[in-house]
Amino acid sequence: MRFRVVVLFLMLLSAAVVGSSLSAFAASTPAVGTIAPDFTLASQDGSQVSLKDYRGKWAIVYFYPKDQTAGCTIEAHNFQRDQAQYAQRNAVVVGISVDTTESHKAFCAKEGLNFKLLADTEHKVVKEYGSTMSYQGVEIAARNTFIVDPEGKIQRVYTSVKPNEHSAEVLAALDELQKSASPAK
């Protein structure tokens, strides 16, 4: 009986810590309607990529935990599969993790990815976007996505996304956002 009480107490304490961590996390993400923090990071091909390079286009900035892991591979494959649909919507997809450019290069080669994956090895951008988490004592990127409009403002924020359905969710949001941004006829 005493053991059960201790286990229950530890479970409640754990839930409270996770809950407070998640609420602190949510408060630190850039808000919808604000200018997206600019960044310049190296891509898998070694080129420097800045968010401002995509002004005039919709930018899908997605953060993911680790190259060549199950969920990240599924998410990347879905974004890759839908590249033509993003192009039709004047949108680009950019993935960011704390992995190295070499890791990104190997991931892209193995998985047939041709959109930009950016290396934030100093963890600056993931922190600016409130997209960090700890996994087994190591700080990695949290699975979050930001839709940035052609003027550089954040229009949608997704936290803790589900890799299997996320690209379709983002495409639907782009349709909605672009429809509401179009002048009435």
Residues annotated catalytic, as ranges: 72
Local structure of 60: helix, strand or coil: strand
Q: Please give the Cα distance from 18 to 120 (Å, whole number).
A: 25
* CA max distance for the chain: 70
Residue with tokens 């996390």: 25
> How does strand 40-43 pair with strand 48-50?
antiparallel
**Are 85 and 171 contacting, i.e. CB atoms less than 8 angstroms apart?**
yes
